[in-house]
Structure 1
Amino acid sequence: MMKFRFLAARLTAGALSLALASSLAPGGNLKAREMAAGDSRTSSTSAEGAGPGAAAAGDAAKAAASPVAPIPALIAPLAARSLLLAATLAGNRLVAVGERGHILLSDDNGRSWRQAPAPANATLTGVRFIDALRGWAVGHDATILHTNDGGETWALQNFAPDWEQPLMDVLFDDASHGIAVGAYGLFLETTDGGKTWTRRRITDDDLHLNAIFATGGDTRMVVGEAGGVYVSTDKGRTWTKRPLPYEGSLFSGVAVDDRTVVVFGLQGHAFRSTDAGQSWQAIDTGTKAGLMGGVATPDGHVVVVGALGTMLTSGDGGASFTLTYRPDRLALADAVRGADGSLILFGDEGPKLAGTLP
């Protein structure tokens, strides 16, 4: 039996991890496995655009269609009470994704939600939009979904359960160029809006890549397992690993401004850089709870959330934080600032309104 060490983003302590543990149980098609660096035994399917999603290691390899057909997500009456792992703004609309392929939309800043159909029922872990209409979501089974209508309908761009490598996050610079990252060093890139995906390596090991985000200008950052912080100053063409005084898992990060970044992860560990990742200072969070997601506002307010209902708030660009716990102690995976300034939290038992952010 291969060593099971899936400590990727949003799979941490408490109810959040318990809810996902069943989908990663031995014998299931989501079971994680060790993959040697450079392993090219991969396959994928693309239901949108021309050609299958590129999958083999290297810059130009193509893959055969997956023999496993995806099962569409069920429209569930209680979807708004399900586990939600990531959310974002699409214009003024909130879009949230989570377990069983659930995609939820809100047009009133999180007060009410409705479920959108999805072509796969794989757990979704990341979602990003480049404008009010065009967005992508990623998740287990190396699933990549795309929408052109603000999340009302979604098309499948990649689906590869035989990889046994979940995707954890996605980032697009524009309508053409995007990157998705995931378990065991999985790094997929597209230059045609997701019609085809190329598999690359940005590290020689097989450590999990848990989140990707933009900082300033052409700078992009990936964080992951074993204190991994990888920085690109050319929108992802080349990557450099930056030293961090920590060897545990990082689950995500937020850019406060073009130079200031806060990253965080296992057991309450968090670090701040004011030089775009060149150097890092540890932050005293006052908690051992896993920190999963967060949001930063243009005026330097930062909110970081995590297991056990943990909320860290900062008014000084992440230099210091105030720790509180939500009374329900439900695990939190992400936080988003709504179009009206509302703070909306996502995790166990769906979205939660939590006041306002400047």
Structure 2
Amino acid sequence: MKYFTALTSLLLLTHCSTRQLEPSIKPLNSPTESLLQAISIVDENTTWISGHDATFVLTKDGGESWELFNHPTGDSLQFRDIHGFNNEKAVLMTAGSGPLSKIFTFTTPDQWEENFVMQDSLGFLDCIDFWDDQRGIAYGDAIDNYPYILLTDNGGKSWNRADSTNMPEAGKDEGGFAASGTCVTTGENGKAWIATGAGGNCRFLITEDYGQSWKEVDSPLVSGDAAGNTSVSFVGDLGVVTGGDLMITDDYTDNCAFSSDGGTTWNLSGQPQTVGAFYGSAITQVDGQTFAFACGPKGLDYTSDMGQTWMTLDTLNYWALSMKEDFGFASGTNGKILRISLQP
């Protein structure tokens, strides 16, 4: 009897400790109508989101309220990516041809430092990320037959192009899609993944030593002049890549794949419910359960079984996604901000 009671208690405890989670969404009040296309979650309270019209926003209370910021020179800048260090400081990247591609450091309430300006007229920055508060990476369209990779080791104050000696050559017209701020993502112990596309190219550039050397891995997603990988996200060795053909808006293409070995191999997922290309991706693990999300102009989908089946969360136009354990955000056109929560 004592054994039976103890066993029953153990089974109940095990059952209660395994929460079956489902995502829920909540539209938030946004202080802008500008396109918001890059998200940086610092912690459960602090998140930065950047976008067009020289605009970016900051929450310090988990999305309940947002502060609006603009660059003082006007609304011509497009903040295609952002990385927040805390609730006072962030690095912002603008995209555009030549000198329109820039990197800034911003400190509240209104302190700006211009840290990098693209000098090559053919240059175009696509995204940035950081390993820690000092070491960071930026990626842009290929120049001089090699991938364009910038590195910083002082928190973004200065940037230098990575040595091309230890990286594969670039494909013709290869680059990234500056749509979601997630064509490059960093991981633990110096790992980083770059998702490339355009010009018929579609592959990954992978480093395990903070960008000092690189290897290439093929991607199974569709390739083409305006196709390929758009976004890559990892949690540990589990990764998701999204993309597609940006010219095909009302049909399905091979636009999502998963990796379980740190990006060495990739397998196409089942067909999502949302049509068209995906711009953003995110992947997270909570209580041993894995959830991946993909968003684009036609909507927001999620999977809880590594892409075997998909469900639609929303059908509005979203460009960017970010998840941190059991919560995250999506953002898009008309200043939309959506909070995503994983709940029992």
Q: TM-score with structure 2 length normalisation? A: 0.71
Instruction: Kindly report the root-mean-square deviation, in angstroms, between the aligned alpha carbons of the 2 structures.
Output: 2.6
Contact 1:183/1:209 (CA < 8 Å) preserved in 2?
yes
| Counterpart in the other structure of 1:157 | 115
C-alpha displacement at 1:94, in angstroms? 1.7
Mapping of residues 263-302 of structure 1, within 5 Å: 263-267=241-245, 269-286=255-272, 287-299=274-286, 300-302=290-292
Structure 2 counterpart SS, 1:271: strand
- Alignment match, 2:33: 81
Instruction: Report how far residue 105 of structure 1 moved.
Output: 1.4
Query: Is the 8 Å Cα contact of residues 85 and 133 (structure 2) preserved in structure 1?
Result: yes
The reply on whether 1:262 has 2:240 as its aligned counterpart is: yes
Deviation at 1:247, TM superposition (A): 5.1
Residue pairs, 1:228-267, within 5 angstroms: 228-246=203-221, 248=223, 249-256=228-235, 258-267=236-245
Deviation, 1:131, is 4.2
Q: Give distance in 2, aligned partners of 1:298 and 1:152.
A: 36
Q: 2:82 aligns with which of 115, 121, 127?
A: 127
Contact 1:87 1:334 in 2 (8 A): yes
CA, structure 1 residues 284+154, in 2 after alignment: closer, same or farther (shift >3 Å)? farther
State the structure with more CA Rg. Answer: 2
Q: Which amino acid aligns with 1:109?
A: G
Q: Contact conserved, 1:118 with 1:153, CA < 8 A, in 2?
A: no
Q: Deviations over 1:276-324 (max 9, x none)?
A: 111111112334411111222232222211121x2121223x3434232
- What's the counterpart of residue 117 of structure 1? 70
Q: Is the 8 A contact 1:103 1:115 kept in 2?
A: yes
User: Which residue matches 2:314?
Assistant: 326
- The 5-angstrom pairing of residues 114-263 of structure 1 reads 114-119=67-72, 121-140=76-95, 141-149=100-108, 153-160=111-118, 163-184=121-142, 185-200=147-162, 201=164, 202-205=167-170, 206-210=173-177, 211-225=183-197, 226-246=201-221, 248=223, 249-256=228-235, 258-263=236-241
> Structure 1 residues 96 and 161 mapped into 2: Cα distance closer, same or farther (>3 Å)?
farther
> How many angstroms does 1:253 deviate by?
1.3
Listed as ranges, the gaps of 5+ residues in structure 2 are 1-29, 178-182, 246-252
- 8 A contact 1:305–1:332 mirrored in 2: yes
In the TM superposition, what whole-angstrom CA distance separates every residue of 1:40-79 from its partner, at most 9, and x where no partner exists?
Answer: xxxxxxxxxxxxxxxxxxxxxxxxxxxxxxxxxxxxxx96
1:103 and 2:52 aligned = no
Query: Residue 242 of structure 1: SS of its match in structure 2?
Result: strand
Q: Deviations over 1:230-276 (max 9, x none)?
A: 111112110000122345210011113x2111111014511111111
Corresponding residue of 1:41: none
The whole-number CA distance in structure 2 between the counterparts of 1:129 and 1:105 is: 9
Structure 1's 338 and 253: CA in aligned 2 closer, same or farther, altered over 3 A? closer
| Per-residue deviation, 1:115 | 1.2
> Which structure 2 residues correspond to residues 48-59 of structure 1 after superposition, within 5 A?
none
Deviation, 1:325, is 6.3
Q: Alignment partner for residue 346 of structure 1, among 325, 331, 338?
A: 331
- Identify the residue that residue 315 of structure 1 maps to in structure 2: 304
Which residue identity is paired with 2:260?
Answer: T
User: For this pair of structures, how many residues does the alignment match?
Assistant: 274
Distance 1:325 1:319, change over 3 A: closer
- 1:85: how far off? 0.7
The structure with the greater share of residues assigned to strand is 2
Change (3 A) 1:89 1:199: same
Spell out, residue by residue over 1:27-49, the C-alpha distance to the aligned partner (whole angstroms, 9 max, x if none): xxxxxxxxxxxxxxxxxxxxxxx
DSSP 3-state at the match of 1:297: strand
Contact 1:94 1:338 in 2 (8 A): no
Cα pair distance change 1:261/1:342, threshold 3 Å = closer
Q: Write the distance in 2 (CA, Å) between the matches of 1:351 and 1:183.
A: 28
- The residue type paired with residue 297 of structure 1 is T
CA distance change for structure 1 residues 354 and 176 in 2, over 3 Å: closer, same or farther? closer
Cα distance between partner residues in 1 of 2:111 and 2:336: 21
* Distance in structure 2 (CA, Å) of the matches to 1:354 and 1:148: 25
Q: SS state of the match for residue 189, structure 2?
A: coil
Return the alpha-carbon distance in structure 2 between the equivalents of residues 204 and 99 of structure 1: 32
C-alpha distance in 1, partners of 2:324/2:34?
Answer: 20
Deviates more, 1:134-143 or 1:160-169: 160-169
